[in-house]
Structure 1
């Protein structure tokens, strides 16, 4: 009888460990998909050329178009609504939060190194660019485990 109870207990423990491993794999898939979305959004924002300044020979990113395009790409790639809340079918369960959206334009000397100690991020830009940090939370399958949260960082330069 003791062997039977021991076997059942071991099977339950093995299933729990297997479920935890599957949860970790789902979390890693979420972070990879979300990171790709942040990178795409930063790249799309960085391509919003200010044509008025270009006529004067100045490479610059148009701020209002850049932010709109970044948010549109985040919404599309993460299945979010206008408030960055997940829509049905999204792999996220909690809203995404844009923690930082910074445009580095013609007012600096290139190459320019952007540093942010709060998010432990550093990037060097050779021309105008965009820095984007988005906070994403992955809800765990088991309620006893705290959600996994990431500050996903992306940057892109104006391509001409």
Structure 2
């Protein structure tokens, strides 16, 4: 009888460890996919040239177009709707929060070092650029892991 109870307990422990391993692996896939989406969104936002200023010889990013591009790219890459809520079939379950979206234009001296002490982020830009910080929650599969959340950071410069 003792061997049977021991075997059942070992199977339960093995299943828990297996569930933990799967949960950790999916969490890492989630953070990598979300980080790529943040990087793509920042890059898309940084490429929105203000054409009126460009005609005057000023290299600048159009703030409205940049915000639209960032939201659009985040939504397309993370399967989100217009309110940043996950669509059916998305690997996320909780809404994505854009906690910082900064555009550095011709009003700063380059090279410019952007610092956000609250989120422990620093990046140096050599030309106009965008900084994007997004808060993502991992939808745990089995509840074995404690809640996992990330503040994913991305930056991109205007390139042409």
TM bin (shorter chain):
over 0.9
**Residue of structure 2 equivalent to 1:30:** 30
**Residue of structure 2 equivalent to 1:112:** 112
Equivalences for residues 62-101 of structure 1 within 5 A: 62-101=62-101
1: CA distance between counterparts of 2:112 and 2:120?
Answer: 17
Equivalences for residues 5-154 of structure 1 within 5 A: 5-143=5-143, 145-154=145-154
Deviations 1:9-47 (A, max 9, x none): 111101110101100101110000000000000000000
Structure 1: which 5+ residue stretches go unaligned? none
1: CA distance between counterparts of 2:153 and 2:88?
Answer: 25
Q: CA RMSD in A?
A: 1.0
1: CA distance between counterparts of 2:79 and 2:141?
Answer: 20
2: CA distance between counterparts of 1:57 and 1:79?
Answer: 38
2: CA distance between counterparts of 1:42 and 1:112?
Answer: 17
SS in 1 for 2:22: helix
SS in 1 for 2:68: helix
Aligned length: 160
1: CA distance between counterparts of 2:20 and 2:7?
Answer: 20
Instruction: Give TM-score scaled by structure 1 length.
Output: 0.97
Cα deviation, residue 117, structure 1: 0.5
